[in-house]
Chains A and B, each alone.
Chain A
Amino acid sequence: MLIFEQSRSGRVAAGQVPGKSEVSGIPAELQRKSRPTLPEVSEMQVVRHYTRLSQQNFSIDTQFYPLGSCTMKYNPRICNTLALLPGLAGRHPYAPDSSGQGLLACMYDLQEILKEVTGMRSVSLSPAAGAQGEFAGVAMIRAYHESRGDGGRSEIIVPDAAHGTNPATAVMCGYKVKEIPTKDDGDIDIEALKAAVGPQTAGIMLTNPSTVGVFERKIQEISQIVHEAGGLLYYDGANLNAILGKVRPGDMGFDVIHMNLHKTFSTPHGGGGPGAGPVGVSERLLPFLPIPMVAKEGDHFRWLTEKDCPQTIGRLSAYSGNIGVLLRAYVYARLLGREGMERVAEYATLNANYMMVQLKKAGFDIAYPERRATHEFILTLKRQAKEQNATAMDFAKRLLDYGFHAPTTYFPLLVPECFLIEPTETEAKSELDGFIEAMTKIKHEAEQDVDQLKGAPYSLPSRRLDDVRAARELDLTWKEIEENA
């Protein structure tokens, strides 16, 4: 039932709203004539309705959620509690810097921590999400070339396994995309890269460990090839959880990087945002960082703006980025400390390798069986799809019945019928064993009666939904008249 269907004309949740006051001064022609479709319900109805809806979700707090490339780790409650302290949550973005010294100190410290973790020269916290961090990064690459009078560079190189955001971002920054293939062992095809670079190359966008879940072993050679061609290296930080405290993008030769704090630094995914996508740069991209950034002058902190950074690529959000998310990440970083950060990569990698080995023993095919798993790995159900018509989609839906969120399916696109599995460091061995057991049972079900899989899930609030109808017969808003007709 929708909240609108519980509405009754004339009811107001009166405890929450101010008293009536006469409005004067709005010219008649600018006034609203009919009321918007907002429900008229009591406070308790609202609380019950949305509490019940929450219960129809899978979440980290309720289920194992091994969504590859999304780093669904536990979100410590204290991070939320402290980000909502009144002095922090209640501050207006245009309140004077003097009224935000505590906040600014946290943001400055966070910049310093992220610099150290990534090995970059400087960090701006302002991008609101990973995709906006990517945008900032590629825009800086463009600004760099243009500042040197080298504006003729028109291409960004992207591996075929890359996240879809990479090519979409390159286009938003006015570049053409050149795709290069991945070899059978999961590394980039160096010969193809050599053939692809040239005076037209603005840069390359890489994820390392890559989206196929392995460490790019030739990263130093790749860096050399691209730099010699005059291009820059962009690091997509989606998989930073795998290498925290072990190896740093700055040391690998990257010029610019974005981090997904909602992944590596455990800020909540919130049903799809908000995230935070800080960017870090090497020396040569320093002048172009997006504003605002925090500077420390003696004991005083202040926001740097256009005036301080004349070559900046500019502002990406109206105020200072997703401060509330950055605060949660900061609390998390202070809880972990340097020793905790190293453990993140260690146990994330241990969990992934254990799952990979156990699933292989259980009779599943691993996409890159000769390689170490990083924090994630790929399983391909190509054989099951061919022999039993049991697809990755069928396995995914049946896993939901067993109480596990499905891994990422059908990504990366180059591995057929794939699962990208990322357990994260916060899951216990018993949870991983439970997942492996469920996969084994489903495999058995597929061999016995594939139709049982095709009908899954059975035990959730909805069975499989008709996506084709959703796209063809668009129903994007509830309409009172139709419902009552």
Chain B
Amino acid sequence: MPFIPHTEQDVKEMLDAIGANSIEDLFDEIPADLRVKGLEKVPTGLNEMAVSRLMRQHAAGDAQGLNFIGAGAYEHHIPAAVWDIATRGEFYSAYTPYQAEASQGTLQVLYEYQTMMASLNGLDVSNASLYDGASALAEAVLMAVRGHRKSKSKRILMPSTVHPAYRAVVTSIVKNQGITIEELPYCSEAGKTLVESLKHFEGEDIAALVIPQPNFFGVMEDVDGLADWAANNNAFSIAVVNPTSLALLKPPGAWGEKGVDIACGEGQPLGIPLSSGGPYFGFMCCKQAHARQLPGRIIGRTVDLDGKPGFALTLQAREQHIRRSKATSNICTNQGLMVTAATIYMALLGAEGLERVGSQSISNTQALANKLCAINGVERVFSGASFQDVVLRLPMPVNQVLEALTEKGLYGGYALGKDYPELNDCISVCATETKTEADLDVYAEALAQVLEV
């Protein structure tokens, strides 16, 4: 039997010990009229060879094109060692490190991860991760409302330059707690949030201002001005950042006079496969003063009975299995395996490697934008300095262009119209370090052909 080791002799001995005639007898407490006859609509089992053939057939036709989509999930090179080690059975098939003495490997990885993330963000403390970037932002909003002692407000200011799916997730998760999200317009020329647009909120009680960097358009926001506005108006500031960009860009802990209160974001660029959207991991860091309000698992270094350093889950008094209805969140796991991979990725790359990945991605995207803008009718939309996404306006209906490009074997970008109706003739494109000059030319030639027709 697949994955069941029992022999007939084992079963007989076990039933004898129990004093039951059959395995069926062990289900005698379930009311008879509830018993199901069988799972007819579930197909019968396949052996490993047949399942492999089936899955290879499914995978064969998928994702064969050259990818130029970014929009919050980025195709970076993942060194072979990352998943080779992360999928070792000792990491892959362990559980949450409740028994610290038997989980020092996972615990130390998480402690190293916390150190790396806190340092990348320029903040004091990191948790051991959340589900993804969007749910991390939702948890940051809840944390701000809960943790801001000098504000009674449940109002959050959210730039419309924050990833549209993140804004949707935040609304789904916080709406039942009476929290209101007020969206801020962006400057249609620069493609970023202007500090002036916040003026009419001055003097009002606001729990937090969210600040994306780079924003969904790839444009870099005036983070110092925005963080200072939040500090001067008694609001928490919540950064939403791309971790690759942090090798090059000023970390949230250094934004403005005081730095942000909370930083969060999507960890996928750090060695996690695109995998159609998950599993990824969300990261969250904060100032020391807010450590006890952080949601999720946190690892601390301590000592054992012999005084030897070791690691353990800590601040568990915040969590649902102790605090139940008064917990900081209902979350009871992190994304352990993803974080293990990300830690190995960051260790392999180091600061220098991460800088090179970031700078190579910026220059490739800029080179791509230049090539595409050389085509008649294609133009950059925003004047603000950009990171690894660029928004372009097309002279033909966007979906028609993207479909035609797909037929030519490439995924040309993200259509912005469904989230931003005013940009319904625009796409955002991205070329990470994985793209060569030749790849960029393939795209430029394909687009020129599509637009010629």
CA A270 to CA B87, docked complex, whole Å: 8
Interface status of A376 (Cβ within 8 A of chain B): no
Closest Cβ of chain A: how far from B99's Cβ, in Å? 5
Please name the 9 residue pairs, one residue from A and one from B, whose CB atoms are nearest each other, closest first. A319-B277, A337-B45, A61-B89, A270-B337, A314-B172, A102-B58, A93-B277, A271-B336, A274-B279
Interface status of A224 (Cβ within 8 A of chain B): no
CA A165 to CA B45, docked complex, whole Å: 34
Closest Cβ of chain B: how far from A15's Cβ, in Å? 8
Q: Decide if A132 touches B105 in the complex (CB within 8 Å).
A: no
Q: What residue of chain A has the Cβ atom nearest to residue B57's Cβ?
A: A102
Q: Decide if B320 touches A168 in the complex (CB within 8 Å).
A: yes
**Interface segment, one of A227-235, A240-248, A440-448:** A240-248
Q: What residue of chain B has the Cβ atom nearest to residue A461's Cβ?
A: B104
Q: Decide if B131 touches A317 in the complex (CB within 8 Å).
A: yes
Closest Cβ of chain A: how far from B256's Cβ, in Å? 11
Interface status of A336 (Cβ within 8 A of chain B): yes
Closest Cβ of chain A: how far from B18's Cβ, in Å? 5
Q: Decide if B411 touches A61 in the complex (CB within 8 Å).
A: no
Extra pairs beyond A247-B35, A314-B172 (12, CB < 8 Å): A99-B65, A103-B276, A113-B43, A131-B331, A172-B176, A316-B173, A335-B51, A342-B39, A354-B17, A372-B27, A476-B301, A477-B115
Q: Decide if A272 touches B90 in the complex (CB within 8 Å).
A: no
Q: Decide if A17 touches B30 in the complex (CB within 8 Å).
A: no
Interface status of A183 (Cβ within 8 A of chain B): no
Contact with A along B133-156 (1 / 0, CB 8 A): 111000000000000000000000
Interface status of A251 (Cβ within 8 A of chain B): yes
Closest Cβ of chain A: how far from B275's Cβ, in Å? 4
Closest Cβ of chain A: how far from B132's Cβ, in Å? 5
Q: Decide if A116 touches B273 in the complex (CB within 8 Å).
A: no
- List the A side residues contacting B358 at CB < 8 Å: 23
Q: Decide if B43 touches A334 in the complex (CB within 8 Å).
A: yes
Closest Cβ of chain A: how far from B50's Cβ, in Å? 8
Interface status of A195 (Cβ within 8 A of chain B): no
Interface status of B187 (Cβ within 8 A of chain A): no
Q: Decide if A341 touches B42 in the complex (CB within 8 Å).
A: yes
Closest Cβ of chain B: how far from A310's Cβ, in Å? 14
Closest Cβ of chain B: how far from A152's Cβ, in Å? 15
Q: Decide if B3 touches A425 in the complex (CB within 8 Å).
A: yes
Interface residues on B, range: 35 or more
Q: Decide if B18 touches A19 in the complex (CB within 8 Å).
A: no
Closest Cβ of chain B: how far from A149's Cβ, in Å? 17
**Interface segment, one of A278-286, A378-386, A467-475:** A467-475
Q: With contacts A2-B108, A46-B81, A90-B63 known, is A471 near B314, CB below 8 A?
A: yes
Q: Decide if B17 touches A164 in the complex (CB within 8 Å).
A: no
Contact with A along B297-320 (1 / 0, CB 8 A): 111111111101011101111011
CA A445 to CA B298, docked complex, whole Å: 35
Q: Decide if A427 touches B63 in the complex (CB within 8 Å).
A: no
16 A–B contact pairs at CB < 8 A? A13-B348, A16-B79, A32-B250, A39-B347, A53-B105, A56-B103, A57-B103, A92-B67, A93-B276, A173-B176, A314-B172, A335-B47, A335-B51, A342-B39, A463-B306, A477-B114
Q: With contacts A96-B406, A323-B278 known, is A21 near B360, CB below 8 A?
A: yes
- List the B side residues contacting A219 at CB < 8 Å: 31, 34
- List the A side residues contacting B20 at CB < 8 Å: 353
Q: Which of B165, B350, B353 has the most CB of A within 10 A?
A: B350
Q: Decide if B165 touches A271 in the complex (CB within 8 Å).
A: no
Closest Cβ of chain B: how far from A175's Cβ, in Å? 8
Residue among B71, B310, B356 making CB contact with A17, cutoff 8 Å: B356
Q: Decide if A318 touches B266 in the complex (CB within 8 Å).
A: yes
Interface status of B425 (Cβ within 8 A of chain A): no
- List the A side residues contacting B77 at CB < 8 Å: 16, 18
Q: Decide if B64 touches A245 in the complex (CB within 8 Å).
A: no
Contact with A along B232-275 (1 / 0, CB 8 A): 00000000000000111111001000000000001000000111
Q: What residue of chain A has the Cβ atom nearest to residue B103's Cβ?
A: A57
Residue among A21, A40, A82, A319 making CB contact with B359, cutoff 8 Å: A21
Interface status of B169 (Cβ within 8 A of chain A): yes
- List the B side residues contacting A320 at CB < 8 Å: 276-278
Considering the complex, which residues of chain A in the window 333-382 have a beta carbon less than 8 Å from any beta carbon of chain B? 333-343, 345-347, 349-351, 353-354, 357-358, 371-372
CA A134 to CA B168, docked complex, whole Å: 19
Interface status of A268 (Cβ within 8 A of chain B): yes
- List the A side residues contacting B273 at CB < 8 Å: 84, 89-90, 324
Interface status of B73 (Cβ within 8 A of chain A): yes
**Interface segment, one of B193-201, B321-329, B371-379:** B321-329
Q: Decide if A400 touches B101 in the complex (CB within 8 Å).
A: yes
Q: What residue of chain B has the Cβ atom nearest to residue A457's Cβ?
A: B101
Q: With contacts A21-B359, A318-B163 known, is A245 near B39, CB below 8 A?
A: yes
Closest Cβ of chain A: how far from B295's Cβ, in Å? 10
CA A61 to CA B87, docked complex, whole Å: 11
- List the B side residues contacting A460 at CB < 8 Å: 101-102, 104
Q: Decide if A317 touches B134 in the complex (CB within 8 Å).
A: yes
Interface status of A147 (Cβ within 8 A of chain B): no
Residue among B105, B125, B349 making CB contact with A38, cutoff 8 Å: B349
Interface status of A434 (Cβ within 8 A of chain B): no
Residue among A76, A169, A266, A345 making CB contact with B330, cutoff 8 Å: A169
Q: Which of B163, B337, B338 has the most CB of A within 10 A?
A: B337
- List the B side residues contacting A269 at CB < 8 Å: 93-96, 336
CA A405 to CA B90, docked complex, whole Å: 13
- List the A side residues contacting B73 at CB < 8 Å: 92-94, 318-319
- List the A side residues contacting B124 at CB < 8 Å: 476-477
CA A131 to CA B173, docked complex, whole Å: 12
- List the A side residues contacting B343 at CB < 8 Å: 50
Residue among B81, B298, B330, B352 making CB contact with A43, cutoff 8 Å: B81
CA A316 to CA B312, docked complex, whole Å: 30
- List the A side residues contacting B100 at CB < 8 Å: 462, 465
Q: What residue of chain A has the Cβ atom nearest to residue B61's Cβ?
A: A102
Q: Decide if B29 touches A372 in the complex (CB within 8 Å).
A: yes
Closest Cβ of chain A: how far from B345's Cβ, in Å? 9
Interface status of A439 (Cβ within 8 A of chain B): no
